[in-house]
Amino acid sequence: MLVFSKANLVFLSVPKTGSTAYQASLLPLAAIAVTTPPELKHAPVFRYNRFFRPMIERFIAPEVDVLAVMREPISWLGSWYRYRQRPAMAGTANSTQGLSFDDFVAAYCLGEQPGFARVGAQSKFLEPQRNGTCITHLFRYEDQAGLIRFLEQRLGTRIATNRLNASPPSALELSPKTQARLRRKFSSDFALWEGIGENGEYIPLPARPKPGSED
């Protein structure tokens, strides 16, 4: 997560959307940079709302824009699958070595996901909160030119990024049955991604009020 005080902008880091490369490029411009641990670096909207927003609104500005990037859902799962195939994961409960991508996605769709398929959901990461805290600018990962253009205009500087933390290549094929199940069970993710327009405009999904949720 990066906070730009002069631009009144917070950039949340959705996992597997190139956030590490943008952090490396934009770090010198940030007033606050949260790069570790992963639970804070990749703070979702609900965690930002609870722990970071009060501080930012008090000491930086009463209203800030919140930026995030979302990846096409199947591509996003493919990045997780490839990331967990790397040699360092061998022998761990989260390794996807020896599994096909179809096996991985089928496990992701289970009610009780095994450890290797427990990667969360982008729609949950980006979910608006009941007090109105939400993403104000959401770009598709696939629209790097649009994202860079927005950042350059907002931060008043030229930006160059290098690909970092890239996953090793591997085949990503889904059977029609598995893809249909994924689209049905995680329809919110597909609807959110498909609703992203130009310049970071998008149609936010409504907050899902739950007893004990974090405001």
Region label for 165, one of left (φ > 0), alpha (ψ between -120 and 50) or beta (otherwise): left
Where in the chain are the domains?
A: 2-200
Buried b (16+ CB within 10 A) or exposed e, 64-93: bbbbbbbbbbbebbbbbbbbbbeeeeeeee
State residue 11 phi and psi, 5-degree precision.
Answer: -110, 105
Place of tokens 């990962």: 141
Among 130, 146, 14, which Cα is nearest to 68's? 14
For the segment 112-163, what is each residue's pLDDT rounded down to a tens digit?
Answer: 999 999 999 999 999 999 999 999 999 999 999 999 999 999 999 999 877 6
Confidence of residue 16 (pLDDT cuts 50, 70, 90): very high
Could you tell me the pTM of the whole model? 0.91
pLDDT of the residue at 171: 74
The second-level CATH assignment, the architecture, of 2-200 is 3-Layer(aba) Sandwich (3.40)
- Those residues with Cβ within 8 angstroms of residue 64's Cβ, 6 or more apart along the chain or in another chain: 3, 8, 9, 10, 56, 57
Structure confidence at residue 166 (pLDDT): 60
pLDDT at site 160: 82
| Residue 168 confidence class, pLDDT cut points 50, 70, 90 | low
Indicate the range of 54-63, 162-171, 184-193 predicted with least confidence.
Answer: 162-171
Q: Which of 47, 70, 60 is nearest to 3 (CA)?
A: 60
Nearest to 210 by CA among 118, 120, 112, 129: 129
pLDDT for 210 equals 57
Contact partners, residue 24, CB within 8 Å, separation at least 6: 161, 162, 164
Phi then psi dihedrals of residue 137, to 5 deg: -135, 120
